[in-house]
Amino acid sequence: MTLHPAPVDTGIVFDRIDLTLEDTRIPARFDHVGETMLGTVVANQAGASVSTVEHLMAALAGLGIDNMLVEIDGPELPVMDGSSSDFVTLLEAAGVRSQGRTRKYIKILSPILFEDGDKSGELRPGHGFSAEFEIEFANAAIGRQRYEFDLAPGAFKEELADARTFGFLKDLDQLLALGLGRGASVENTIVIEDEAVINEDGLRYSDEFVRHKVLDAIGDLYLAGAPILGHFVGVKSGHGVNNALLRALFSQPEKWTYVEDAAQAPEFLPLTAEEARQAALG
């Protein structure tokens, strides 16, 4: 995989350089998402596809990168250690440059909700981008966890980038039968056997499971094609729900609008402590 700078208005684009199809480029957009089992897969009409894009997309969202060409010579992005940490390290080492144009944002005007049984994803109006997420597993190694996140400068790297994907050892045989999970190991996954984490080094955070779910959601939501100004609420949400939420968003144009350069729009800036106090006092 090679990450290339790209001109303004390119967006994030994947290119399967190992294929000889008529079109090997795939825009990183919600309407190009096909499969969402265990990861997010984007594809084009010519048949080119790339899977497990969410960890890189989360790193790009967290670092504020709008334009990039991702060349890859296989069907899946490198899993690295199962988090976004290595992607962040590589991107910071290369450096990020302003392209002299204002950013385009998607401002949420009123709530958009998608529900699938006890799973749900919702976008609400909010300052900047923030998220809250709740998971609950019967397994005692995870249990019920909740996490809140504000996408301030440096916050993604500090709070989420190191959080790894996770899975249950008992599910491995079924996944292998489906042709999935072939590269999974304790080197790139938090593995749970019975009700214990079997990775020798244990967890990086006590709530690493829910932090990774927030990371996934940020990556999936960046497939909107622009940063979102709003508050995401996820309850047991996964890749399928996240993508369905974006499809619900774009099917209701009255509930959102494009704005430019949020940094210059006072209504989008985080409240100062004094402003928050005044707001609380009414």
Residue with tokens 């939501």: 221
Q: Compute the average pLDDT of residues 104-123.
A: 97
Q: Name the strand (E) or helix (H) holding 274.
A: helix 273-281
4 is catalytic: no
pLDDT at 105 over 70: yes
- DSSP designation for 109: -
Q: pLDDT at position 100, please?
A: 86
Q: pLDDT at position 230, please?
A: 96
Give the model's confidence band at 271: pLDDT under 50 very low, under 70 low, under 90 confident, else very high. Answer: very low
Q: Is 199 exposed, middle or buried, given 0-12, 13-18 or 19+ CB atoms closer than 10 A?
A: middle
Instruction: Tell me the pTM.
Output: 0.89
Q: Cα separations (Å) of 282 from 18, 109, 110, 152, 270?
A: 60, 22, 22, 26, 18
Q: What tokens does 223 get?
A: 């497939």
Give the model's confidence band at 8: pLDDT under 50 very low, under 70 low, under 90 confident, else very high. Answer: very high
Q: Cα separations (Å) of 53 from 37, 112, 185, 246, 263?
A: 12, 24, 19, 16, 28
Q: What tokens does 11 get?
A: 């967006």
**Domain extents for the chain?**
2-281
Q: Compute the average pLDDT of residues 114-138.
A: 96
Q: pLDDT at position 177, please?
A: 56
Q: pLDDT at position 11, please?
A: 97
pLDDT at 131 over 60: yes
Phi, psi (deg, nearest 5) at residue 61:
-65, -45
**pLDDT tens column, 150-199:** 999 999 999 999 999 998 887 766 654 555 445 556 678 898 989 899 89
**pLDDT tens column, 55-94:** 999 999 999 999 999 999 999 999 899 999 999 999 999 9
Q: Is 48 exposed, middle or buried, given 0-12, 13-18 or 19+ CB atoms closer than 10 A?
A: buried
- Bridge partner list, 13: 27, 69
The answer to whether 232 touches 178, Cβ cutoff 8 Å, is: no
Q: pLDDT at position 224, please?
A: 98
Q: Compute the average pLDDT of residues 108-118.
A: 97
Instruction: Residue 65: name the closest of 5, 130, 149 by CA.
Output: 5
CATH number for the domain whose boundaries are 2-281: 3.30.1700.10
Q: pLDDT at position 178, please?
A: 52
**pLDDT tens column, 19-60:** 999 999 999 999 999 999 889 999 999 999 999 999 999 999
* CB burial string 253-267: b at 16+ within 10 A, e below: eebbeebeebeeeee
Residue 161 DSSP SS3: coil
Q: pLDDT at position 280, please?
A: 46
- Among candidate residues 55, 212, 231, 239, the one labeled active-site is 239
Instruction: Residue 184: name the closest of 197, 168, 204, 163 by CA.
Output: 168
**pLDDT tens column, 209-265:** 999 999 999 999 999 999 999 999 999 999 999 999 999 999 999 999 999 865 544
The answer to whether 166 touches 193, Cβ cutoff 8 Å, is: no
Pairwise CA distance, residues 249 & 230, whole Å: 12
Instruction: Residue 187: name the closest of 160, 165, 217 by CA.
Output: 165
Q: pLDDT at position 187, please?
A: 76
